[in-house]
Amino acid sequence: MGTYGYAAPEYMATGHLTARSDVYSFGVVLLEMMSGRRAIDKNRPAKEQNLVEWARPYLSSKRRIFQVMDARIQGQYSSSDALKAANLAIQCLSAEPRYRPSMKEVVKALEQLRSSSSSDGSRGSRGENLQRVHRSSSSGRTYHRKNEVSSRKPASYAGPYVSPLRA
């Protein structure tokens, strides 16, 4: 049996795997990267334990999508890239397999997302130019944006993979 939280609904019902089942599982992984949360987390409140069920209502809203996004990567992606990633996740997580993209289409969407991220100068959520490398001054302050100084440490992502939004 598939791993709970990653397995597509039709696989859980029938036990039959398809290429579209894999796309659903990838959608869960994409959502994990975007949110910084695990697919299933019993330490969260009951309504937030299943990542897909919790995040689904937020993914289709331009304003609410940022409630899903991991605060540790805030400012390292543009609003439009976050929406593109959310739209891809929605498609991958479709309850109906025939409405999910093929993995080839997923790869193409990710490549387009990556190229749009690298061509926009790594803009923050309000369009600021971000520095790619965090530099610390002798005072211990870290510079995150041009002409902005912060005494907090740079964000880090605890997952074993790099978010496509951070590219």
Question: What pLDDT, on a 0 to 100 scale, did the predictor assign at position 164?
Answer: 54
Sheet strands side by side (includes 130-136): 130-136, 142-145, 148-150
Kindly state whether residue 166 falls inside one of the protein's structural domains.
Answer: no
Question: What pLDDT, on a 0 to 100 scale, did the predictor assign at position 31?
Answer: 97
Angle separating helix axes 51-59 and 19-35, nearest 10 degrees: 80
Kindly state whether residue 32 falls inside one of the protein's structural domains.
Answer: yes
Kindly state whether residue 64 falls inside one of the protein's structural domains.
Answer: yes
User: What is the tally of structural domains in the chain?
Assistant: 1
Q: Domain span at residue 82? A: 9-150
Question: What pLDDT, on a 0 to 100 scale, did the predictor assign at position 165?
Answer: 56
What values do phi and psi take at 150, rounded to 5? -135, 145
Kindly state whether residue 38 falls inside one of the protein's structural domains.
Answer: yes
Question: What pLDDT, on a 0 to 100 scale, did the predictor assign at position 4?
Answer: 86
- pLDDT 10s per residue in the chain (167 long)? 568 899 999 999 999 999 999 999 999 999 999 999 999 999 999 999 999 999 999 988 888 999 999 999 988 999 899 999 999 999 999 999 999 999 999 999 999 999 987 776 544 444 433 333 333 344 444 444 433 344 444 444 444 445 555 55
What is the Cα gyration radius of the chain?
17
- Residue ranges in the chain assigned as alpha helix (H): 9-14, 19-35, 51-59, 79-92, 103-119
Q: The CATH number of the domain where 34 resides is what?
A: 1.10.510.10
4 and 130 Cβ atoms separated by less than 8 Å: no
Cα-Cα end-to-end distance for the chain: 34
